[in-house]
Homo-oligomer: A and B are copies of this chain.
Amino acid sequence: MVMGNRAPNKLEWRINVRNGTSEILQPKTGLVHRVWSWLKGLLGEFMLKIWNFLEKARNIAVAEPKKVIHCLKVGVTLTIVSLFYYMRPLYEGVGGNAMWAIMTVVVVFEYTVGATLYKCINRAIGTFLAGSLGVGVHWAASHSGDKLEPIILGISVFLLASAATFSRFIPSVKARFDYGVLIFILTFSLVSVSGYRVDKLIDVARQRLSTIAIGASLCVLMCMLFYPIWAGKELHNLIHRNLEKLADALDGCTAEYFTDSSAGDSWKKIGGYKCVLNSKAAEDSMAGFARWEPAHGRFNFRHPWKQYLKVGASLRSCAYCIETLDGCLNSEIKAPELLRRHLSDACITLSSSASFVLKELATTVKTMRKSSEIDFSIGEMQFAVLKLENAMKSLPNHLVATPSSTSDGDAKAEPIRKTTTPSSVMDILPLATLVSMLTETAARIKEIADEVNELAKLAAFKPPNTKKASQSQSSNQVDEPSNNEERTKGLG
């Protein structure tokens, strides 16, 4: 406890200590010390922030070394351009043309090849169109007298800038030519109001264009030759990683519900689907950039990037379902133990066959090779749906009036008696939900499979590896020979 205590001629602060007496609190060395300790605290806090920041940066660098390589590439390109112009007589100070080369490199060099090409091509088209139009307007204005000149220039700048700015709101323009329109407005304004005569103007434009071309082509070369990062490949990887994440989440969800496994490791796997939910923006931008990329690796020039977006959309739709499923499983109302045990096998079979389909699709996309087993495993998934529905149908006969006091072993061994007093529907509500969510998830996985099939057709994926396929198919037939008839019904 601290209290102010008035001494005869000055204010003292006293603190009560354990044994009943009190001690006077004194500043140790006065103002200097206080300022020093305050500064020290501030510095410590600052250092801690810097340290955390560096830690975060290090984590990013370790997780994705590609990003570090990209940064080094930017550094090297910029140094080359800077020093080249610094040492050549071409250079005429910061205001000169060298500036445009440096500016081009800084503005145009993007993380992926597609984005860099998009910016380069847009910059080229925008500059060229606006330059020609600007020279035209400039010529017309300069031939129409001193009074009309600023009016013509002003009106043309106003009209073109407004129209071009508006065009950036139109989705199709925004997706492909956003940057080009920006450069168009910039170049047109600069050229049309320039004080040069037309022949001088064309000379300036030629010099500047050549400088920009050098900067841009250096960027493109650096981007494509040294450790290129293709937007298309990133999109491709994103899609098959998302497929795997969904498979893990589905596995994890049901396993957690039925086996009561502790969280920890499994939670991490289940949580993976959350980043699928919000992947639309990333997919859209990557598909947009991938369009500008030349053929690379296993991707041709006209690779069906749009189909990846459709696969992505169906993935998200499935992720919504899994999110709801996850929510329902974590809700407070739990189904009675006996009911859970009754459906546990069928549910786990369905979820594992569904997640197997997802994994198979992930492999199909990853290896770009059609899977010979995919139809078979989809059939198996749909058969599991039927089996689960059958298990549900047989449920009323299994409902037991007494609370589940029997032990695990007994319940499985003993045939369960029919009763005339079925338990409340509320008891089976969570399980019913689980069943329909799983069924709905299976239906949506079927949609994903359709979209992936379409992708395989459009992108001409390689035919399946027949040797392995025939082996596994025959082994499957050995395992479950009796199910074939019922499965055929489920394929419909």
Chain A residues in the interface with B (C-beta under 8 A): 53, 56-57, 60-61, 64, 67-68, 70-72, 74-76, 78-79, 82-83, 85-87, 91-96, 98-99, 102-103, 106-107, 150, 153-154, 157-159, 161-163, 165-167, 169-170, 172, 182, 185-186, 189-196, 201, 204, 277-278, 280-281, 316-317, 320-321, 323-324, 327-328, 331, 389, 392-393, 395-396, 420, 422, 424-426, 428-430, 432-433, 435-437, 440, 443-444
Are B82's CB and A154's CB within 8 A?
A: yes
Are B82's CB and A193's CB within 8 A?
A: yes
Are B432's CB and A162's CB within 8 A?
A: no
Are A76's CB and B158's CB within 8 A?
A: yes
Other than the given A82-B157, A95-B96, A98-B193, 4 more pairs (CB < 8 A) read A60-B170, A74-B165, A75-B162, A106-B189
Nearest-Cβ distance from residue A370 to partner chain B, whole angstroms = 28
Q: Which chain B residue shows the least CB distance to A443? A: B331
Are A166's CB and B425's CB within 8 A?
A: no
Are B424's CB and A396's CB within 8 A?
A: yes
Are A195's CB and B86's CB within 8 A?
A: yes
Report chain B residues within 8 Å CB of A94.
Answer: 190-191, 194-196, 201, 204
A161 to B82, CA, bound (A): 12
A91 to B193, CA, bound (A): 10
Nearest-Cβ distance from residue A76 to partner chain B, whole angstroms = 7
Report chain B residues within 8 Å CB of A161.
Answer: 71, 74-75, 78-79
- Which of A85, A95, A103 has the most chain B CB atoms inside 10 A of its CB? A95
Q: Which chain B residue shows the least CB distance to A195? A: B93
Task: Give how many copies assemble into the complex.
Answer: 2
Residue in contact with A281 in the complex, picked from B56, B162, B281, CB distance below 8 Å: B281
Are A393's CB and B277's CB within 8 A?
A: no
- What 9 pairs between A and B have smallest CB-CB spacing? A75-B162, A432-B432, A433-B436, A281-B281, A94-B194, A324-B324, A75-B158, A71-B166, A71-B165
Are B87's CB and A150's CB within 8 A?
A: yes
7 A/B residue pairs, CB under 8 Å, sorted by A: A74-B165, A82-B192, A86-B150, A92-B195, A94-B190, A389-B426, A429-B436
Nearest-Cβ distance from residue A83 to partner chain B, whole angstroms = 5
A389 to B190, CA, bound (A): 70
Q: A106-B186, A150-B86, A182-B106 known; A425 and B392 CB under 8 Å?
A: yes
Are B78's CB and A185's CB within 8 A?
A: yes
Are B193's CB and A86's CB within 8 A?
A: yes
Residue in contact with A190 in the complex, picked from B83, B102, B163, CB distance below 8 Å: B102
Report chain B residues within 8 Å CB of A440.
Answer: 324, 327-328, 331
Nearest-Cβ distance from residue A360 to partner chain B, whole angstroms = 23
Are A424's CB and B96's CB within 8 A?
A: no
Nearest-Cβ distance from residue A364 to partner chain B, whole angstroms = 25
Report chain B residues within 8 Å CB of A86.
Answer: 150, 153, 193, 195
Report chain B residues within 8 Å CB of A280.
Answer: 278, 281
Report chain B residues within 8 Å CB of A278.
Answer: 278, 280-281
Report chain B residues within 8 Å CB of A70.
Answer: 165
Report chain B residues within 8 Å CB of A91.
Answer: 195
Report chain B residues within 8 Å CB of A170.
Answer: 53, 56-57, 60
A316 to B274, CA, bound (A): 12
Residue in contact with A327 in the complex, picked from B72, B166, B186, B321, CB distance below 8 Å: B321
Residue in contact with A106 in the complex, picked from B158, B185, B444, CB distance below 8 Å: B185
Are A422's CB and B435's CB within 8 A?
A: no
Report chain B residues within 8 Å CB of A159.
Answer: 75
Report chain B residues within 8 Å CB of A157.
Answer: 75, 78-79, 82
Nearest-Cβ distance from residue A69 to partner chain B, whole angstroms = 10
Nearest-Cβ distance from residue A73 to partner chain B, whole angstroms = 9
Are B72's CB and A162's CB within 8 A?
A: yes
Nearest-Cβ distance from residue A15 to partner chain B, whole angstroms = 37
Nearest-Cβ distance from residue A213 to partner chain B, whole angstroms = 18
Nearest-Cβ distance from residue A218 to partner chain B, whole angstroms = 14
Q: A78-B189, A94-B191, A194-B94 known; A425 and B396 CB under 8 Å?
A: yes
